[in-house]
Amino acid sequence: MIWRLVGVYHANGTLWGELAYVIRSRLGGAHCSLCDITHGRVREKDEWKQRRTELSVPFDTVHLNERSAELVALTEGNTPCVVAITDDGAEILLGPDELEACKGSPQRLVDAVRAAIEARGLSL
């Protein structure tokens, strides 16, 4: 049973990290498809706030520098991603390619999470 979902951004959460990400992304460098799904230019998307509540478990997000040791071990080199925290531990539900396929859509992310949960025989 899943009791929490965690989205891991492919960016650091410090002021400098956020600024560096914005600059690099505008110049065609850094890219985080999870950022595209959850945030607009400046703040969290209203649609994302609404859609994540449809999952019936908390969906938290963390930046690279905010991950626990367990999340670092699981996600290093595989971000952005969505991780399911279950009674049996943590596992990656969606990796970078699946998040890219959401094309910035919160609804597509929720649909992809549900499909991944079903494919693994898990439940919320």
Three-state SS for 89-112 is: EEEEEECHHHHHHCCCCHHHHHHH
Is 124 contained in some domain?
no
> Looking at the 3D structure of the chain, how many domains does it have?
1
In eight-state DSSP terms, residue 8 is E
CATH code where residue 65 lies? 3.40.30
pTM value is 0.89
- Please report the pLDDT score of residue 114 as a whole number: 97
Task: Tell me which residue range forms the domain holding 54.
Answer: 2-119
- How sure is the predictor about 14, in pLDDT bands with cuts at 50, 70 and 90? low
pLDDT tens track for 74-123: 999 999 999 999 999 999 999 999 999 999 999 999 999 999 999 999 99
- Over residues 52-64, the mean pLDDT reads 96
